[in-house]
Amino acid sequence: MQPAAARGVSTVSMRLALIVLSCCATAPPPLPPAVVPPAAPRVQPEVTEVAIAALVAGDFAAVARAFEPATRPTEQQVAAVWRGKSARLGAVVRWWIADRTFQDGFATRIVMIELERGTLECLLTIAPEGVASLFVTRPAPPAAYVDRARFRDVALTIGEPPWQLPATLSVPAGAGPFPAVVLVHGSGPNDRDETVGANKLFKDLAEGLASAGIAVLRYDKRTYTYGDRLTNTLTLDDEVVLDAVAAAHALAALPEVDGARVFVIGHSLGAMLAPEIAQRAGGIAGVVLLAPPARAPWDIVRDQMRYLNAPREVRADVERTLVRAQLGEDTGTLMGMPMSYWQDWANRDGIAAARKLGARVLVLHGDRDYQVTGEDFALWQKGLAGVRGAELASLAGDNHLFIAGHGPPTPLEYKVPAHVDERAFARILAWLRR
C-alpha cells in the first residue's frame, strides 16, 4: 500500500535496497543498517494492533490514519487492497502477529489473518510516525523441498556471556550423526531466519537441508539481540566473525553432528567472511558463498544508490562521506556505521582467504542481484581460477536472496512472499552431499 501520489522508490524501499548486503545487506537491503538497532519500535507500541484491528473491522479510514503522513494512503486505496485480497475468503476468524523483527532499525511485523476459507499475510514496516508500508498477500505455500515430518527444531544458545545468542538447530529425523551446516548472515541486525521483507532465506535453507538429512544451526545476530549494548567501535569480528566461529564450534560438538562434516554457508557479507570464519574455526569441511561481495564497500554503496536513482541530496551527502572513508578518515559515520567498520571491511580479502583455505568452496551468484553484482562475481571467478575444489555458478533470474524473478530487480520484490529457488537449493544440497 503506497500513498496516492506516485513517489518512485519509497523511503522505506530505499532503506531496504541499500542495506548493504544483508540484503544483507539483506536484506539486503536499504541505506546500510545502523550499528545500534532500537530495542523497541520508535512509535507507540500498539500501532500494529490498531492498524490490523481496524483493517479486519472494515474501518479503512482508521487504517489510513495509522500511517505516517509521508506514506499515508486514502481510505479508498486501503479498502480496494483489502477487498481485493479477502474476496471470497469469508469473514475474519482471528489474527495474530507471527513475526517481530527489525530492518535498518525499523520495526517490521508479519501478521497472519485467518479467514473462513483461507489465510492472508500482512507485512508492516513501522516508521517513527506510524505505519510506513502495509502489504497484504496470500502466504507462499511451503517450499517443495521442505518436509516438516523429516526433521525437528531444537532451541539452543550459542556463545559466552555477555554475548549469548538464541539459536535453532534443525535436526533430521533418524539416527545420526549427520553432516551439518552453520548459517552466517549478511551485515546489519538480522534474525536467525535472515528475514528480509516477507522472505526468510535462512529458514528456507535450514528446513530444506534438514528435510534432506543435513543438520542446520542458525542464530540471531549480536547486532539484533544486543544492539542497545553495542558502540561505534564495532568491527566485523564483533558483528559477524566471532559469533560464527563460536556457532561452528558449538555445532561440531553436538552428539547429533558428524564433526568431520561441518560446513559454513554465508550470505552476502557473511559469504565474503565465510572462508576466514572456516579458517579460524578449524576443521571445516567446506564453505558455500551465496552472493559474496568482492569490491570495497563504498564502491558497492555507490553503485546501489545509482541503480536505485537515490534522491540527489542523499547521493551528494553519501558521496562526500564515501570520499572521506576512502581517504581513511576515522571520524564520523557512513550510513550509521563508524568509519572504522567500513575500513575494516575494505581491508578484508575474502578471495585471498578462500584461496588459502584448503577446503572445498562453492560460490553462487544470482544474475538479477543489484546489490552484489556480476562485477563482484567476475572478480571471484578470476580470483579462484585454477583453485582446486572451487566451483562457481551464476543462476539466471535469481536476485540477492536467490529468489527467482523476471525483469529489472527492485526492492519491492522483498515484500512478496516467496522461497529460495529450487535450482539454488538443489545445487547447494548436491555439493554438500559429495
Take residue 352 and report the three cell numbers written for it.
Answer: 585471498
DSSP symbol at 398: B
> Cα(first)–Cα(last) distance of the chain, in Å?
46
Look-up of cell digits 545487506: 25
> Using CA atoms, how far apart are residues 320 and 294, in angstroms rounded to an integer?
22
Q: Facing residues of 168 across strands?
A: 155, 218
> Using CA atoms, how far apart are residues 81 and 142, in angstroms rounded to an integer?
24
Cα radius of gyration (the chain): 21
What single letter denotes the amino acid at residue 21? L
Of the residues 268, 344, 398, 421, only one is catalytic, namely 268
Q: Nearest 10 degrees: CA dihedral of 417, 220, 101, 425?
A: -10
Whether 400 is catalytic is yes
Take residue 29 and report the three cell numbers written for it.
Answer: 537491503
Of the residues 204, 400, 419, 421, only one is catalytic, namely 400
Residues 400, 426 contacting (CB under 8 angstroms) = no
Whether 317 is catalytic is no
> Using CA atoms, how far apart are residues 422 and 163, in angstroms rounded to an integer?
35
CA distance to 65, 73, 416, per residue, from 51 (Å): 9, 13, 20
Give the DSSP H or E segment for 135.
Answer: strand 130-137
DSSP symbol at 238: I
Give the DSSP H or E segment for 204.
Answer: helix 201-211
Of the residues 193, 238, 344, 369, only one is catalytic, namely 369
Spell out the residues 6+ positions from residue 282 whose beta carbon is closer than 8 angstroms to its own: none
User: Could you please report the per-residue DSSP string of 66-113?
Assistant: TB-GGGPPPHHHHHHHHHHHHTTS-SEEEEEEEEEEEETTEEEEEEEE
Whether 104 is catalytic is no
Q: List strands edge to edge, sheet with 118-127.
A: 92-103, 106-115, 118-127, 130-137
The 10 Å Cβ neighbour count of residue 229 is: 12
Give the DSSP H or E segment for 323.
Answer: helix 312-326
Look-up of cell digits 554457508: 265
Residues 194, 183 contacting (CB under 8 angstroms) = yes
- Give the dihedral sign, CA 383/386/389/391: positive
Active site residues: 268, 369, 400
